[in-house]
Structure 1
Amino acid sequence: MIYEGKSLNVTLLPNGIAELVFDAHGSVNKFDRQTVSELDEATQAIKSQSDVKGVLVRSNKSTFIVGADITEFTGLFDMAEEEVLTWVAKTSQVFDRFEDLPFPTISAINGFALGGGCEMTLACDLRVADTTAAIGLPEVKLGLMPGFGGTVRLPRLIGADNALEWMTTGRDRKAAKALAEGAVDAVVAPEKLRDAALSMLQDAIDGKFGWEARRAQKKAPLKLNKNESMMSFSTAKAMVFAQAGKHYPAPHAMVDTVANASRLDRDGALALENQGFTKLAKSDAAKAQVGIFLADQLVKSKGKKQAKASTKDVKSTAVLGAGIMGGGIAYQSAVKGTPVIMKDINQGALDLGLNEAAKILGKGMSRGKVTPALMASTLNSIVPTLEYSAIKDVDLVIEAVVENPKVKGIVLKETEQHVADDAVICSNTSTISINQLAKSLDKPERFCGMHFFNPVHKMPLVEIIRGEKTTDATIATVVAATLKMGKTPIVVNDCPGFLVNRVLFPYFAGFSKLVMDGADFVAVDKVMEKIFGWPMGPAYLLDVVGMDTADHASSVMADGIPERMQKIDNDPVTLLYKSERLGQKNGKGFYNFSLDKRGRPAKVAADEAYALFAPHCADKRDFDADEIIARVMIPMANEAIRCLEEGIVGSAAEADMALLYGLGFPPFRGGVFRYIETMGLANFVALADKYADLGPIYQISDGVREMAASGKSYFSQSA
């Protein structure tokens, strides 16, 4: 044994090959600080052995190395900039020292080799992958860039254009594509991986491969003349700006770093990479995106733990109500392999539900993502019916009828009389109290909310709403079923609007007050989309939601939380609803919707909407972007804080993920709590106090005031 650590070990094989094996405690290999330190110690130990002729690097896990240990990043971001630069420089030099070993090296790649794992393979002279391998540099998804030499070695290995496409998108490559692009030298069956790597390494030792020339290429400037360099990097900059926009600095930094380093040798190029990584590590976008990753891990971990506690396997599902929503839910169940019965009271609705599923599948086929076999099996797994008798043996029922408590109550009561005693019953309500609906049932303990978002097949979130009498067993079953449907479950407690809609409607109220004070809704949308980063501004989002839906939901919220959410007199939303301007569903709302000359959807601000609002609003005036953002976001942030304080949601991390997955909260801001903390709690309190005279939705709770005064964090509480 040449070296033995906790995460890796090195043994000398009889032919003089040192075999460096990553084998950390736990299920996967990661580059945490300990592993990096051990790699450096192992490198020194190998170098000191006079009889070593080459090094094979492989993993003893089912996957190679999944990347850096991201849980260490939050501490990293808190360090001073100079300390971050020192850390990343020292770490990248560990990979340099491995690369500089005086004999050939090869990595045998199985499963994921991502981030630092990919950079480990790049530090080797040769790479062989098995057919399970997936190789890539996904740091951009965390608001970062590669920090262990990836921006230096990959462009010199596969060319700057290919390397920038890898790095700026963060997409990994399967083994065959990596081979075609030159990132690996061979692809073999998993059972042949080690032998193939040893054979290739022996050939290099014997002089059959010019490994020295390969290594020299990785350490030299890029082979681009002036024109090639200008064309390559200007094209890359334009593509990155078109795809990433201005809110995500990481892909822009990668292009600049590779461009500026193109005429430098390895050491000069690595110095620029170190600087670029450090700057990004201290950015708000990186903190937000790493926060999202960690919050997502928390949500997934909670979901898996809850699902594991389930004692009931959902083998069949029923959906009651076969409109757009019911059809979407039925599709989602069927496409993930759980047969579903779709029930309604009229054939037209059933046809609509089946057409919705067929339309989703048809679009997937046109894009090459759905096979004819999958389309057939999915549609065959959806059984339409007009009879309650068809649902008698299902394990899970999802009621998705009209958003009316009386209608839902009747349907739920009828449902309970026709299903098995152990069947779980859910309501896909967006705002109506689960405790109220539970009164319709003889067994409220087997009932909960299961709130899907529209369009179901695209929106990842499902809010699972626990009522007062809902059992843990019921929640576990529904969480397991949600995961089986390919969705992300977040469990919340019952209240008007639950979590997502409860925080959304104060945002809409802030918008309505702004319009009534003279703001142009088009200008508000532009600020909230282009500057804040929402996929849609509030007026556009209301048009998509539908004025009838929004007006009804705001009435439910007003009844449930009258102290803050009373309906506004002459609310623009209500004015549009009463004028039958329902938004996209009938082509007229804040905007008029049509098709342009090429048949693409188009929207223009509606003169009719301006005329409708004019008698009830102040004279038009311009508001600066900061005021627009404050006036719509403070109410949302305040209500999110109250949901956390009241125990509606379990943690700030879960709240952030719910808004990210349910509303499309801008990822570079990390969620509503991350947005508040990036601003600083004391600054948020001061900002909210500035607008407190606008009404209760702007007035902060005592809890956040106390947290700001004591310097506490919502994330240390929710860890």
Structure 2
Amino acid sequence: MTDFTLSKGADGVAIITWDVPGKSMNVLSFEGLAELDACIDEVLADDAIKGAVITSGKDSFAGGMDLNILASLRDQVEGDPARGVFDGVMRMHGILRKIELAGMDFRTKKGGKPIVAAMPGTGLGIGFELPLACHRIFAADVKAKIGLPEIMVGLFPGAGGTTRLVRKLGAMAAAPFLLEGKTLEPAKAKAAGLVDEVVAPDALLDAARDWVLNASEADLVKPWDAKGYKMPGGTPYTPAGFPTFMGAAVMVNANTKGVYPAARAVLAAAYEGALVSFDEALKIEARWFTKVVLDPTSGAMIRSLFINKGALEKGAVRPAGVGDERVQKLGVLGAGMMGAGIALISAMAGIEVVLIDASQEAADKGKAYTAGYMDKGIARGKATAEKKEAALARITATTDYEALKGCDLVVEAVFEDPKVKAEVTAKAEAVLGADAIFATNTSTLPISDLAKASTRPGQFIGIHFFSPVERMNLVEIIRGRETGDRAVAKALDFVRQIRKTPIVVNDARFFYANRCILPYINEGIRMVGEGVAPWLVEHAAELLGFPVGPLQLTDEVSLDLGVKIARATRAAMGDAYPDGDVDAVVFPLYEAGRLGRKAGAGFYAYDEKGKRQGIWPGLGERFALAGDQPELGEVQNRLMMAQVLEAVRALDEGVLTDIREGDVGAILGWGFAPWSGGPFSWLDRIGAAKAVEICGALEAAHGARFKAPALLRDMAAKGESFYTRFAPAAAA
């Protein structure tokens, strides 16, 4: 099979077509890179060829590098993984530099051949780094993304993208694309200077050919190869450039808290590269890229956020032997915030939706949520009036359960009250077809108990959406005791249709995500009750890479929800209830009306516009600060272990059956330290023996909740890691 093919036109323009067999989007492998190199050699050696256009045989241009090959680079030089990675990266640099120089004799500025990129659609990562090495970039005027999002999976553009973009745009203008992974649609990419021309799709190749045939020798000299080149915005030690690089360093440290090495590395590569020649800058970029690839943070993020996440989205845990269960017609019971969000994303995915509520006014309000969302998209240029009308046309808002006839999946999203859920379950099943699947959206109520209201528990399943539905990528699918494989397959296929990431867990109190996040929240609150400075608790969490601290998170979800969960849990557990000391903090605040952000008062103080103003000063009066404050590391260990031990227990008890789901679910569900790769990846990073040691110290100081589970102790004794012990389940 061939990834790159070359065809020669009668006009002297060669077309190099990138079309990886069996892939919906091109990805670059080293075999493909060698084929591209051979094509470029042929272009440069054949006198009949005047120049070349590199394009794609697919609707998109390319989705990036095949990240699976990065691991193989470490083994290229025995005993020296750094040399293997560095040599592999420099091989890429050499081929892209060959394209850029195009055989030109730079002493005479003659003899070069124009090579341009014609992008029919999305170009990301190496799919944009390759065009950056070409002499002109043409992009089709279609819905597509162009940019360098490597930072999102713990890497940075290491195939020349960092060096070329900084030299093309300047450090300040390049920063959003390098440090934030920002991507743009073609027209905006042109305005930002990422691409040179945006043309109609059917004119793409003709425009590229015409440019090749009319290019001058001056057109083939990149700005950074021209005599007298000066970097836009200035280099680090110029009056203009110095504040830019200093500001970037401050921004990186403020945003990453020092736990994301790729962000520091890309800034260092840009800074150091700006002080030397272009070819030396490429070597610097390659060195920093090698350092990042060999850092365990990069490996963990790639595994969880690229390999494992992709595997789950492609159906890695889908029951075998079940046919296509994509949803044709969806029923949504309850048009509140959650139900309206489910209706929105389903209609946007092309699914016919019946949205039911007790009153027509409530149902219409739920449908209007889609209209409001689409209006915001239109204002930002992300949607059109036609798409809005199409989405609204797919939603039927009604009070009539008869409208559910023909639905093959119903998602119930009413109040977290078993009686209310049982009532709507019976009403829906009375009109549904025999094969329809019924799903309940709940964050805490046991699925097997709710299924008792169903006449067909084998077709009853839990689908836990996170709020707000349109923004949160994770969906937790909960299999009840009697849930059948077809119901699981239906739920997974539905989640795939709406472009979310699913995990499948077995039924247990709080399932997986809430089971782990509640101890994190409770540990933070418990420390406040002990007299630990609340700002120490919050900053400890931030320095671990969590998006928000436990106190802020409590304010966001509201203290009254916490009180409701606490009361229900206490009622279920009786004397075994473990969180009385947490309630001693939460309940007085609740009774004082400090319900969190929505009330403008919680652990934090807020101004009249709802903006946080810092920790509420009165908190120290209610819960006096201890004279001796704990070390930062102890606070961090408490916050981390409160979560990861629950993840281990969930695996040991069979709630989780696949550690990939545990890691991906933690990152997407509640923002568990993405740099770590998730709780199991983090435990593997520090080692089971070290984890048991930390647990021993915490148990002695703070109680049995930190007792290391038997599974973790057994792994420590055997020197095992989760990704070795559970390798069959974790294989991508």
TM-score normalised by L of structure 1: 0.86
**1:591–1:603 contact (8 Å) kept in structure 2:** no
The CA distance in 1 between the partners of 2:658 and 2:572, in whole Å, is 23
Alignment of 1:298 onto 2:311: yes
In structure 1, stretches of 5+ residues that fail to align are none
List gaps (5 residues or longer) in structure 2: 104-111
- Answer whether contact 1:20 1:55 (CA < 8 A) is retained: yes
Q: 1:171 Cα deviation (Å)? A: 2.6
Instruction: Write the distance in 1 (CA, Å) between the matches of 2:319 and 2:585.
Output: 39
- Establish whether residue 22 from structure 1 lines up as the match of residue 1 from structure 2: no
Give 1:182-193 correspondences, 5 Å limit: 182-193=193-204
Q: Call closer, same or farther: CA 1:220–1:44 in 2, change over 3 Å.
A: farther
Which residue of 429, 454, 463 corresponds with 1:450? Answer: 463
Give, as a single letter, the amino acid of the residue that structure 2 aligns with 1:276.
Answer: W
- What are the equivalent positions in structure 2 for 1:334-349 lying under 5 Å apart? 334-345=347-358
Name the counterpart of 1:703. Answer: 711
Residue equivalent to 1:657: 664
The answer (yes or no) to whether the contact 2:74–2:84 under 8 Å persists in 1 is no
- 2:684 is matched with 677
Counterpart-to-counterpart distance in 1, 2:566 and 2:113: 68
Paired with 1:219 and 1:41, the residues of 2 have a C-alpha distance of 30
Q: Does the C-alpha gap of structure 1 residues 250 and 54 become closer, same or farther in structure 2, counting only changes over 3 Å? A: same
Structure 1 residues 380 and 622: CA distance shift in structure 2, 3 A: farther
- Which of 206, 210, 214 pairs up with 1:199? 210
Identity %: 31
Tell me if 1:95 matches 2:96: yes
Partner residue in 2 for 1:314? 327
Q: Distance in 2 between matches of 1:258 and 1:570?
A: 48
- For residues 344 and 699 of structure 2, the distance between their equivalents in structure 1, rounded to whole angstroms, comes to 46
Aligned to 1:568: 580
Contact preservation (8 Å) 2:261, 2:297: yes
Give distance in 1, aligned partners of 2:574 and 2:485. Answer: 31
How far apart are residue 213 of structure 1 and its match?
3.2
> How many angstroms apart in 2 are the aligned matches of 1:373 and 1:127?
31
Q: Give the corresponding residue for 2:541.
A: 528
Q: Distance in 1 between matches of 2:226 and 2:147?
A: 18
Equivalent residue pairs, number: 706
Q: Partner residue of 1:150?
A: 161
Normalized against structure 2, the TM-score is what? 0.85
Matched with 1:490 is: 503
Which among 710, 713, 721 is matched to residue 713 of structure 1? 721
Distance of aligned partners of 1:580 and 1:342 in 2 relative to their CA distance in 1, 3 Å threshold: farther
Contact kept in structure 2, 1:559 and 1:566, CA below 8 Å: no
In the TM superposition, what are the counterparts of 1:25-64 in structure 2 within 5 Å?
25-27=21-23, 28-44=25-41, 49=46, 52-64=49-61
Q: Are 1:106 and 2:115 counterparts?
A: yes
2:3 pairs with 1:7: yes
Q: Helix, strand or coil: the match of 2:315?
A: helix
Matched, 1:124 2:134: yes
Which moves more between the two structures, 246-255 or 464-473? 246-255
Do the aligned partners of residues 526 and 126 (structure 1) sit closer, same or farther apart at CA in structure 2, a change above 3 Å counting?
closer
1:5-45 deviation digits (Å, cap 9, x = unpaired): 84334455556555443343322432222223344455455
Read off the aligned partner of 2:59 and give its amino acid letter. S
C-alpha distance after superposition, 1:396-435 (max 9, x if no partner) = 3222233233443344234323433333211111111111
SS at match of 1:703: helix
Rounded to whole Å, the distance in 1 between the matches of 2:370 and 2:203 is 43
Residues in 2 aligned to 1:635 and 1:430: alpha-carbon distance in whole angstroms = 19
Cα deviation code 1:135-188 (max 9, x no counterpart): 322222222222222223334444554434432332334333444455444444
CA 673–588 in structure 1, closer or farther in 2 if over 3 Å, else same? same
Query: Which deviates further from its counterpart, 319-328 or 675-684?
Result: 319-328
| Residue equivalent to 1:506 | 519
1:468-479 maps to which residues of 2 (within 5 A)? 468-479=481-492
Query: Map of 1:198-597 to 2, 5 A cutoff?
Result: 198-204=209-215, 208-214=216-222, 217=225, 222-223=230-231, 226-230=238-242, 232-234=244-246, 236-237=248-249, 246-291=258-303, 292-302=305-315, 309=322, 311-312=324-325, 314-345=327-358, 353=366, 360=373, 369=382, 382-529=395-542, 531-554=543-566, 566-569=578-581, 571-572=583-584, 575-576=587-588, 579=591, 581=593, 583-584=595-596, 587=599, 590-591=602-603, 593-596=605-608
Letter of the aligned partner of 1:631 in structure 2? R
Question: How far 1:627 sits from its partner (Å)?
Answer: 0.8
Following superposition, the deviation at residue 443 of structure 1 comes to 0.8
Root-mean-square deviation over aligned CA pairs? 3.7
Code of the aligned partner of 1:317: L
Partner of 1:498: helix, strand, or coil? coil
CA change 1:134–1:547 in 2 (3 A) is closer
Q: Give the Cα–Cα distance (whole angstroms) in 1 for the partners of residues 10 and 376 of structure 2.
A: 58
Secondary structure of 1:302 counterpart: coil
Would you say 1:689 and 2:696 are equivalent positions?
yes
> After the TM superposition, which of the residue ranges 74-83 and 93-102 deviates more from structure 2?
74-83
CA gap 1:378/1:508 in 2 versus in 1, 3 angstroms = same
Q: Distance in 1 between matches of 2:539 and 2:348?
A: 37
Contact map agreement 2:8 2:49 (CA 8 A) in 1: yes
* Separation in 2, partners of 1:457, 1:405: 26
Displacement of 1:682 in angstroms is 2.5
CA contact (8 A) 2:513 2:665 kept: yes
* Alpha carbons of structure 1 residues 246 and 484: separation in structure 2 relative to 1, 3 Å: same
Distance 1:565 1:76 in 2: 51
663-672 or 586-595, which moves further after superposition? 586-595
Q: 2:329–2:408: 8 Å Cα contact kept in structure 1? A: yes
